[in-house]
Amino acid sequence: MAGLMMVFLFIAIVYMRDISLERDKIKDVAVAYQQNQVAIYDALNSEFSHELVSWKASVDKETLSFQFNSPEVLFDSGDSNLKSEFEEILITFIPRYLSVLEKFKDSIDEVRIEGHTSSEWGNDTPPDAAYFLNMALSQNRTRSVLNFAYQDTGLSKNEQNWVKKTFSAVGLASAKAKLNIDGSENKELSRRVSFRVITNADIQIRKIIEGI
């Protein structure tokens, strides 16, 4: 009986040790993720520090979103064709953006071009109908951005291949609308296009958990 108890105790100690090791692995991934997040944010800010004001752009540290916040520069109202001024910005932005991300390729799962609109769509349009109309509009706009970025910004074949593998175009309509201090929708700031880096830390953590 004493021998059996010793076997169970040994198994319990080994199991607890394995759990502790896996927990340490997850902690290491989380720390590396945070450091990588900061490094990407700092690299984007450093590369585009002189253009952020003139482009009316910003970099969000939490989501790693490079946001173009000036709707009058991006598209005409209700239209998904890029305005010439936005095309000129993208010709400068895209190659440099890819150059920054080159150093972090191993940790990037996806680069998501996200289109955002306000919640309105004509005076007499019901809210539900406006939402789906804006969803289609925002989706078409992100496709236009992705198509232009791929075709017309002077990318090499290798860069184009990485864009095809990594970039996606997502229309979010007013799902992530910007709000004023009083909680009301800021319709001007809600109309924007962002390039969002999504790292693969969650995938690494999932693999560790599945291996436990």
**Residues 101 and 109: beta-carbon distance below 8 Å:** no
Interval 59-91: pLDDT, tens: 999 899 999 999 989 999 889 999 999 999 999
Number of domains present in the structure of the chain: 1
With 90 as the cut, is the pLDDT of residue 35 above it?
no
Lowest average pLDDT, out of 23-27, 48-52, 133-137, goes to 23-27
Residues spanned by the domain of 53: 2-211
Q: Which two tokens stand for residue 70?
A: 């000036």
Instruction: List the structure tokens of 58.
Output: 């910003």
Residue 30 has pLDDT above 70, yes or no: no
The mean predicted confidence, pLDDT, of the chain is 86
pLDDT at 3 over 50: no
Q: 97 pLDDT band (50/70/90 cuts)?
A: very high
Give me the pLDDT at residue 13, please: 60
- Can you give the pLDDT at residue 60? 94
The CA–CA distances, whole Å, from 174 to 3, 71, 114, 154, 169 equal 66, 14, 11, 32, 16
Instruction: Give the residue from 129, 131, 149, 150 showing the smallest Cα distance to 139.
Output: 131
CATH assignment at residue 37: 3.30.1330.60
Q: How far apart are CA 94 and CA 193, in angstroms?
A: 14
| Pairing mode of beta strands 65-68, 108-116 | unpaired
Q: Are 81 and 75 in contact (CB under 8 A)?
A: yes
Q: What percent of the chain has pLDDT over 90?
A: 64
> Confidence class of residue 210 from pLDDT cuts 50, 70 and 90?
low
Task: Tell me the per-residue pLDDT of 152-206, one tens digit each, with 9 for 90 and over.
Answer: 999 999 999 999 999 999 999 999 989 999 989 998 889 999 999 998 865 655 5
